[in-house]
Amino acid sequence: MTKTPDTNVNYTQIYYHIIFSTKNREPVLVADRREDLYRYIWGITKNKKSHLYRINGVEDHLHIFASLHPSVCLADFIKDIKLGSGWWIRENSVFPGFSHWQDGYGAFTCSTEHKHRVIEYIKAQQEHHKRESSQEELRRLLIEAGVELRKAYSTPPGSLLASHCIRGFYPRLFTGIPSGDNWWNVRPGL
């Protein structure tokens, strides 16, 4: 006898690639303390009953690849990460010069078949940003996701993102991904 899925349970599989920056893209996230920040954000994610697949970043912004519990709203998830981690950074003097996170964020959905490509992209952030600035990266991601730049990217030069951008997967993003050891893996073996 084949068992049918329980209709009293929520079934979701939505992967989010989330990007946000420090205020005015200040390069204050020094490498030697980023892993502590990633662990703290992993704890916030876990407390929200969500799953963090990868997190990585450079001096001025972070990339998070996660799936959220069905009861968690994306905007609230990001707000909780920014508020919680910002408080932790300031309270513990983790990154001197950090004032707070930029107001906006980018969030892009990803299909299951492209999940590992996004993870590899996030792993390779340090290598990637030797060739492309944060601003160039964001502009490219917005274009590849089909986000209209006049609204989402008409921000002052110091701002990483002014609007919340949620769109489909961006397949052209992942050509020529470099390999590298300088990334944070919160779930070994994935």
Side chain identity, residue 97: G
Structure tokens at 44: 């916030």
Fold category of 15-174 in CATH: Alpha-Beta Plaits (3.30.70)
pLDDT value for 171: 37
Cα dist from 83 to 44, 48, 80, 88, 120, whole Å:
10, 14, 5, 9, 27
Question: Domain limits of the chain?
Answer: 15-174
For residue 46 the two structure tokens come to: 């876990």
- Mean pLDDT per 10-residue segment, the chain (190 residues): 74 93 95 96 97 96 96 96 97 95 92 94 90 88 80 44 35 34 34
Q: Residue 79 and residue 132: Cα distance in Å, rounded?
A: 27
CA distance 121 to 117: 6
